[in-house]
Amino acid sequence: MNAPRHFQFSSGVDDRPHAVVIGSGFGGLAAAVRLGARGYRVSVLEKLDAPGGRAYVYRQDGYTFDAGPTIVTAPFLFEELWALCGKQLADDVELRPVAPFYRIRFANGEVFDYSGDAEAMRREIARFSPDDVAGYERYMQMSEAIFKVGFEELGHVPFDSILDMLKVAPDLMKLASYRTVYGLVSQYIQDERLRTVLSFHPLLVGGNPFSTTSVYCLISHLERKWGVHFAMGGTGRLVTGLVGLIEGQGGAVSCNREVAEITLNGRRATGVRLASGETMAADIVVSNADAAWTYRKLLPTTARKRWSDAKLKRARYSMGLFVWYFGTRRQYPEVEHHTILLGPRYKELLTDIFDRKILADDFSLYLHRPTATDPSLAPAGCDAFYVLSPVPHLASGTNWAHEAERYRKSIEKLLSATVLPGLENEIVTSRLLTPQDFQDRLNSVNGAAFSLEPILTQSAWFRPHNRSEDVDNLYLVGAGTHPGAGLPGVLSSARVLDTVVPNAETFAHAHA
Ligand SMILES: Cc1cc2nc3c(=O)[nH]c(=O)nc-3n(C[C@H](O)[C@H](O)[C@H](O)COP(=O)(O)OP(=O)(O)OC[C@H]3O[C@@H](n4cnc5c(N)ncnc54)[C@H](O)[C@@H]3O)c2cc1C
């Protein structure tokens, strides 16, 4: 990392080199803070009416709903951003540990409490399958070994050249990265229920455990090492905190400003043109818009060699999500903060979602009850929830305008029959988000919830690079870039950006 240079504000003119960041998801906001600390004047341009991207906040009828991320892992990645501004995260946002991390409920009602407490985990494993305890211990050792390479070594370095990939190939082979998450877990664990419990994590970043590279087994260790946290007041507090940091650096986050095009001079990015027609010049452009969208929609085909339309069409996109946000007039105190409700099928359901692209009648759900940790997110005596169901992305041809209410009702029926009795009579407020919204609101290709699928052939060098391969002075951060989706992934993409953007001094002469 380079030391920041302090540019002068002479005669009221900000002479710092200008960086335009397209999009205010966590990747974009983290990139903005890092660029501000490096001496850039930063303008973040956001299409929506508020920052956060997938972490947008809906407020209605006295309830606060975080639209997307709720599970905060690796908090040091946030702490670093505050430290770059000479501040402390804890002064702005309280991150509270959540225990258990997840309550996993099987279709037959059996429950597994998944936590970061090694002893409690051993007891839970033994309760299901005593013979698997030793295998579990060995699996966790493997997870730690993968973490050391996959997260600590590879997650924070750029993969600009195929040589970078070749250098790490022996490590990846040693760690059996050609195996899938489910495949690796199954090497250590015999009980089918426990295989599910230990292999579902890729779904949190848009991957099918049966095809995602086993590098993602590092999440088991990452969660145990740093815990699972919730931002009091909601994830939106982290968003407003980051916006405050950017403004404190003299940068700006402007909403309702959709970028229609990245302007070019030859193969060099020179700025952006907004949908309003206005243009903005920049020394560097950083796109936090979906990487595939950035290449397909914001740059002409003639400017792209590597990320051609054909390649982007062939790429595999993560699954979609159907999300139902609802508030109840009563509380359900027996429901944990994070609950996973597994359906009757695991592999077959995932095949329907990822490969056959069929909207199945059954589902596995993630249920979020933030009021378990922070009751202020709903009126007194009430609960705020969201429930999400992984579904195929838009290539399924599902017409969500027609399907959404029917699908919501079948989820409501299942919740009412299991963990939220009488739910249909308790709802006071409700809203939906479908893959169509991911495409229309968030500019996600195919309405995918997590951009490109995290398979080995779409990871590291194979993923859109943080320094564009096609356009000079263009950089990319966020879920569709290296290292990938999820809060740790997109915050790490901004960390990688920090290592590949030019020093602000490079542009200083132009501003003298
Ligand atoms: C429902 C849900 C739950 C999740 N839960 C978790 C979780 O618990 N923990 C976790 O770690 N991860 C979770 N994730 C994943 C995580 O939220 C995402 O991977 C991450 O937030 C994506 O950040 P990003 O930087 O890629 O930007 P995004 O959040 O995708 O934001 C991109 C922004 O760019 C804007 N934009 C796009 N095009 C333009 C344009 N042309 N001009 C201007 N602006 C534009 C969009 O409006 C958007 O605001 C979840 C995701 C979803 C959808």
Identify the sign of the CA torsion 220, 221, 227, 229: negative
Report how far ligand 1's centroid is from the alpha carbon of 107 (Å). Answer: 30
Q: Whose C-alpha lies nearest to ligand 1, atom 1?
A: 68
Q: How, if at all, do strands 474-476 and 284-287 pair?
A: parallel
What are 355-391's pLDDT values in tens digits? 999 999 999 999 999 999 999 999 999 999 999 999 9
Torsion of CA 322, 105, 373, 94, to 10 degrees: -70
Q: Which atom of ligand 1 has the smallest separation from the CA of 479? A: 26
Q: Does 233 score more than 80 pLDDT? A: yes
What are 131-156's pLDDT values in tens digits? 999 999 999 999 999 999 989 888 88
Instruction: State the pLDDT at residue 10.
Output: 41
3-state DSSP assignment of residue 474: strand
d(C-alpha 497, C-alpha 489), whole Å: 12
Report how far ligand 1's centroid is from the alpha carbon of 167 (Å). Answer: 31
What are 282-326's pLDDT values in tens digits? 999 999 999 999 999 999 999 999 999 999 999 999 999 999 999
User: What tokens were used for 176?
Assistant: 């059996």
Instruction: State the DSSP string of 23-83.
Output: --SHHHHHHHHHHHHTT-EEEEE-SSSSS-GGG-EEEETTEEEE-S---B--THHHHHHHH
Residue 59, CA distances (Å) to 63, 250, 326, 415, 507 in order: 6, 29, 11, 23, 42
Question: What residues flank ligand 1, with Cβ below 6 Å?
Answer: 22-28, 45-48, 53-55, 68-71, 258-259, 288-289, 321, 323, 388, 442-443, 449-450, 478-479, 485-487, 490
Average pLDDT over residues 96-101: 97
- The Cβ of residue 191 has, within 10 Å, a number of other Cβ atoms equal to 17
pTM over 0.85: yes
In the chain, count H helices and then E strands. 17, 21
Q: Which atom of ligand 1 has the smallest separation from the CA of 490? A: 25
Q: Which atom of ligand 1 has the smallest separation from the CA of 488? A: 11
Task: Determine the residue of 54, 226, 339 to mutate for testing ligand 1's pocket, defined as the one with the most ligand atoms within 8 A of the Cβ atom.
Answer: 54
DSSP 452: B
The amino acid occupying position 138 is R
Report how far ligand 1's centroid is from the alpha carbon of 53 (Å). Answer: 5
